[in-house]
Amino acid sequence: MTWIKNVIVDVIVTVIIALYVFSNAAWGYWVIIVYTPLMVLLKLGAVASGVSKVVKQKPDETPNWFYHVLYALNFALLLYGAMWWPAAGWAAIWILSAVQASRTERTK
């Protein structure tokens, strides 16, 4: 469980999405609107450049299933909150992460 420190930002973003969906906090909207496209661009860049092929998984690295749970939760929360574009962004992040993980598994 030493990998928890590696996902603190992702967990905080999930909490912010939940806070926005259930309490409609205006600041949460801006976090979602800024962070989601940034993550999409970063994932696109990582997948397109093949970074995952050269980086080896460390023993304390976060397991892929944890990211899949967070991305699914973010996607579901945004759908529930009727935020269609950010939900589409998190669906893309989730798909790109699956592609990246499959490429990493093939290179092992």
Q: CA 89 to CA 12: how far, in whole Å?
A: 18
pTM of the model: 0.86
Q: CA 22 to CA 19: how far, in whole Å?
A: 5
pLDDT of residue 40: 96
pLDDT of residue 5: 78
* Average pLDDT, consecutive stretches of 10 residues, N- to C-terminus, the chain (108 residues): 81 96 94 96 91 61 89 97 97 93 73
What are the contacts of 77-80 at 24+ separation with CB within 8 A? Answer: 77/14, 77/17, 77/18, 77/21, 78/17, 78/21, 78/32, 80/21
